[in-house]
Amino acid sequence: MHEMGLCDAIAEAVLKRAGGRRVRGVRVRISGHPVDPEVIDQGYRLAAAGTPAADALLEVVQEPGTVRCRACGGGAPADDAVHLVACPRCGGLDVEVAAGSGAVLESITVDEPAETSG
């Protein structure tokens, strides 16, 4: 499942950036491929289970990439899974994701480390 690999990568990046601190919130921008935010949230929960990021509120921002048809040269936003396999203009099946494919960890919110008295 592609989404689970994405969720594992998000959790890994969050934990690395958090440096052991408890994570309260995560904002990730996913572009190029339509995803179901609920599926991403569930996958993230599984990937982050038992870590300081397990209970973080996950915000998924979707940004469609674009696809280009090799047959007719037409371009369209990849805002529908069908557009990733068939051109919305001519119906051709020779399409490629032209731009904007990937995931970016935009921000995380963490607890501040506890003050130690010395």
What average pLDDT is seen over the chain?
A: 87
3-state secondary structure of 84: helix
pLDDT score at 118: 54
The yes-or-no verdict on residue 16 having pLDDT over 90 is yes
Chain centroid, CA 65 distance in Å: 13
> What CATH topology corresponds to 2-110?
hypothetical protein PF0899 fold (3.30.2320)
Instruction: Give the residue extent of every domain in the chain.
Output: 2-110
DSSP element (H, E) containing 47: helix 37-48
Over residues 63-115, the pLDDT tens digits come to 877 888 999 998 888 777 777 788 888 988 998 877 666 889 999 999 987 65
